[in-house]
Amino acid sequence: MRWPRMSERDEFDEIARLFRPLTRGAPGAFDLLDDAAVLPSRPGYDLVVTKDAVVEGVHFPEGEAPDMVARKALRVNLSDLAAKGAEPFACFMALAWPRRYEARDRERFALGLAADLETYGLSLMGGDTVVAPGPLWVSITAMGWVPEGRMIRRGGARAGDLVLVSGSIGDATLGLAAVKGEIKDPRGRLIFRYRLPDPRVDLRDELRRIATAAADVSDGLVADAGHIAEASGLRLELDLDALPLSGPAASWLERQADPKAGLLRLATGGDDYEIVCAVPPGTQRPAGFTVVGRLVEGEGIAVRIGGQAVDAGPGGFRHL
């Protein structure tokens, strides 16, 4: 780790002031003053580790508020942990401040991260900052515990399993369109959902109880459900008439001249950060989940709207 730099006493003091409180007293973080952190093994538990970076101009718009960037960077990683059924407990962060960032921007970034660490109950245990040319770059490694052998994989689904998705789908892709000025979002709900994902850590115990496989919906429902099918060696059948939509997304869809294309856009847009999972056919559907399809013998993806097959294309999603 490279937080403290005696050559840059001001930077050192700033880092200490900004980030040390974010360890939230974790003893293995050594107040961010050591070369590394130490994590004792936890017998009976496995450590689940994920690492996603966010880059200005790719994963969030240029000029996004620093606190929102920090929170999004953490939350996309918490979403991965949630999908795996893991309880977040620590993170590490590397970040490149752009040269335009001033002290108040760095402070605002740290405050945003602090708020979310508190909300989700985890500690910052180490990392690295640098001022560099180029865009703001934040890489977070997040870790969580699951009971031994209980991480929910992508590849655990069986033929006949139902495909469920949590919450509602498509708001974030409309939010991105609204950020770009392509659609209206008078109450700002779509934009907010795009800017600040809500990782479904609340679902983790339920998922461990019912899911044979799970993934978070970051690349779009079709793509991420497709990942489960592919990893499980199965064929995905999705029925988009069942797609759960928020009020603003439903009302956007009503205004579309081509509702099929609209529905497909929502189902292939990214950044929802909901959970898609497979459950055995007899499972009682938990509150907050919608059945959107099933997994069968075979391979590939079949998407239906109004009872008719549609071409979902490659299914995925490109950021910005």
List CB contacts of 13: < 8 A, sequence separation 6 or more: none
Tell which residue, 181, 152, 174, 175, has the closest CA to residue 275: 152
Q: Is 307 annotated as a binding residue?
A: no
Q: Is 13 annotated as a binding residue?
A: no
Asked whether position 25 contacts a second copy by CB under 8 A, the answer is: no
Residue 248 and residue 102: Cα distance in Å, rounded? Answer: 37
Which of these segments, 18-26, 136-144, 179-187, 195-203, binds a second copy (CB under 8 A)? 136-144
Which helix (H) or strand (E) is 232 found in, with range? helix 221-232
Q: Is 198 annotated as a binding residue?
A: no
Question: For residues 88 and 244, which CB has a smaller minimum distance to a second copy in the complex?
Answer: 88
- Which of 45, 290, 291, 302 is close enough to bind a second copy by CB under 8 A? 45
Residue 249 and residue 265: Cα distance in Å, rounded? Answer: 11
Q: 171-179 vs 259-268: helix axis angle to the nearest 10? A: 100
Residue 274 and residue 292: Cα distance in Å, rounded? Answer: 13
Q: Which CA distances in Å does 295 have to 9, 173, 212, 216, 313? A: 58, 25, 11, 17, 19
- Minimal distance in Å, beta carbon 155 to a second copy? 7
**Do the beta carbons of residue 315 and residue 222 sit within 8 Å?**
yes
Q: Where are the alpha helices (DSSP H) in 43-148?
A: 66-83, 103-120
Asked whether position 40 contacts a second copy by CB under 8 A, the answer is: yes
Question: For residues 36 and 242, which CB has a smaller minimum distance to a second copy in the complex?
Answer: 36
Question: For residues 158 and 319, which CB has a smaller minimum distance to a second copy in the complex?
Answer: 319
- Which of 226, 248, 262, 293 is close enough to bind a second copy by CB under 8 A? 226
Three-state DSSP at 215 gives strand
- Which of 23, 123, 139, 166 is close enough to bind a second copy by CB under 8 A? 139
- Minimal distance in Å, beta carbon 247 to a second copy? 28
Asked whether position 170 contacts a second copy by CB under 8 A, the answer is: no
Q: HSE (CB half, 13 Å, CA atoms) of 137?
A: 12
Question: For residues 214 and 249, which CB has a smaller minimum distance to a second copy in the complex?
Answer: 214
Residue 282 and residue 24: Cα distance in Å, rounded? Answer: 43
Q: Which of residues 52-111 bind a second copy (CB under 8 A)?
A: 52-53, 55, 57-59, 80-81, 83-84, 86, 92-94, 96
The token pair that represents 300 in the structure block = 């590939």
Residues binding a second copy: what is the number (CB under 8 A)?
Answer: 76
- Minimal distance in Å, beta carbon 270 to a second copy? 9
- Minimal distance in Å, beta carbon 90 to a second copy? 8
- Which of 6, 100, 307, 311 is close enough to bind a second copy by CB under 8 A? 6
Angle, vertex CA 112, rays to CA 111 and CA 118, nearest 5: 85
Asked whether position 38 contacts a second copy by CB under 8 A, the answer is: yes
Which of these segments, 1-9, 63-71, 168-176, 259-267, binds a second copy (CB under 8 A)? 1-9
Asked whether position 235 contacts a second copy by CB under 8 A, the answer is: no
Q: Is 127 annotated as a binding residue?
A: yes
